[in-house]
Structure 1
Amino acid sequence: MNDRADGGELEFRVAGELRFLLTPRFRDRERPRVPYDRTSTLGHVVQSLGVPLTEVGGLTLDGEPVPPAHRPPGGGLVDVSAVPRPQALPESPPRFLVDVHLGALARRLRLVGLDSAYSNNADDPALVARSGAEHRVLLTQDRGLLRRRALWLGAFVRGTRPDDQLTDVLERFAPPLAPWTRCPACNGRLAPVAKAEVAHRLEPGTLRTYDAFTRCRTCARVYWRGAHGARLEATVTAAERALRHAD
């Protein structure tokens, strides 16, 4: 490779599972090449290709491992590997923060018992601040949000369907599940409640048909295995299967 006066070119070999993140300009190139000025960090250049560092498991320059903060003295071949699955996290069990555009995913995460904060009106700075303050992994499909320097930890969620997104999160982090223990509406803890205590809040048909109830300790919503029970059970079963696959 011929060095140029400005530092040469960096050639990138991006792992196959990350290539969908490349910007359209680079996606159809087997080994994208970019001019290099010797001042930008390698991590900055990788992100300029469209791949957030949250998705990168490691970097090598001409076969030698280097950190994202590395500034190459010239050109070279950069290999970009994906984060290994399951991904090790600094805290376990993980706590999640779900982007405003993934509300259906948040409900599914709560259904299987995962601590998942969500607000449908939180802006990007608020999400980044909360992620750091509460040590929550930010789940999003916004690559720009994942590139924010102040972000504590984040992950790009793959898939367009909520069920596929749930599978992706479970396979990536392999968190312990506790189905039916969190409120799908507010993320609070559910606790069993006597039928007599909530009878005044139930429709006559529900009162006649069901006997087992739980109530959210935070928002006081009442839950029972009703008409949608089979569908929810299917979601839980699929989640448990995905987790076994991740292990």
Structure 2
Amino acid sequence: MNRPKFIVDCMGGNIAKKLRIMGFDTEFWLDASDAFLIERSYHEHMLLVTRDRGLYLRVSKSSTKGLLLPDEDEVKNLVFILERCDIKHINPVPNLNTRCTICNGNIKKLDKTRLSNPIPKKVYEKINAIYECSKCSKVYWEGTHVENINKLIDNINRLLGR
């Protein structure tokens, strides 16, 4: 199954981060024109995600595909996106598809002795699993943030399974 790719406009930064964490190739553009987003979406075969009704109307008249987020609630919007893409389940993170929240690069598991960027000593001593972005070298580790994301994913999976 081909995983959908997304392009998210400036109104959806948190949505873009969550899609990346869940393992979806997701571009986020803070300062891009509507024309650029539509063109990029078309050429890169990405689904354009927006809260901007005007942009969505332009997308619907173009050759690309888009989604107009229906709600202010992040969980409802994520469920909406996943349902429209016929995704029935999201794996807990980190998983093989998890992407960097900063640059959208791939995350790889590392031996903690091979880190290119330092992490706090207490964290280094306490954890076993370390992940690093192959593109920007941002370091991730399993802690309370991952637990919270997985609670969010559990909630989303429950809603997807209604």
User: Taking structure 1 as the reference length, what is the TM-score of the superposition?
Assistant: 0.58
Q: In structure 1, give the amino acid aligned to 2:121.
A: P
Structure 1: which 5+ runs fail to align?
1-90
Q: In structure 1, give the amino acid aligned to 2:77.
A: Q
Q: What's 2:100 paired with? A: 183
Distance 1:199 1:125 in 2: 38
Distance 1:198 1:133 in 2: 36
- How big is the shift at 1:200? 5.6
Does residue 135 of structure 1 match 2:45?
Answer: yes
Q: Any idea what SS the aligned residue of 1:92 has?
A: coil
- How big is the shift at 1:214? 0.9
1:11-34 deviation line (CA, Å, top 9, x unaligned): xxxxxxxxxxxxxxxxxxxxxxxx
Of structures 1 and 2, the one with the larger relative CO (CA 8 A, separation 6+) is 2
Q: In structure 2, give the amino acid aligned to 1:205.
A: K
Q: What's 1:218 paired with? A: 135
Does residue 244 of structure 1 match 2:161?
Answer: yes
Q: Any idea what SS the aligned residue of 2:11 has?
A: coil
Alignment of 1:9-20 (within 5 A): none
Which of 80, 94, 105 aligns to 2:15? It is 105
Q: Any idea what SS the aligned residue of 1:114 has?
A: coil
Query: Looking at CA atoms only, which structure, 1 or 2, has the larger radius of gyration?
Result: 1
- How big is the shift at 1:158? 1.6
User: Taking structure 2 as the reference length, what is the TM-score of the superposition?
Assistant: 0.85
| RMSD over equivalenced CA pairs, Å | 2.0
Paired residues of 2:7 and 2:28 also in contact (CA < 8 A): yes
Q: In structure 1, give the amino acid aligned to 2:70.
A: R
Does residue 194 of structure 1 match 2:119?
Answer: no
- Decide which structure has greater helix share: 2
Q: In structure 2, give the amino acid aligned to 1:229.
A: V
Cα 1:170–1:100 change in 2 (3 A) is same
- Decide which structure has greater strand share: 1
Distance 2:81 2:67 in 1: 9
- How big is the shift at 1:199? 7.6
Structure 2: which 5+ runs fail to align?
none
Q: Any idea what SS the aligned residue of 2:10 has?
A: coil
- How big is the shift at 1:244? 2.8
Q: What's 2:24 paired with? A: 114
- Identical aligned pairs, as a percentage? 30
Cα 1:98–1:199 change in 2 (3 A) is closer
Q: In structure 2, give the amino acid aligned to 1:144.
A: G
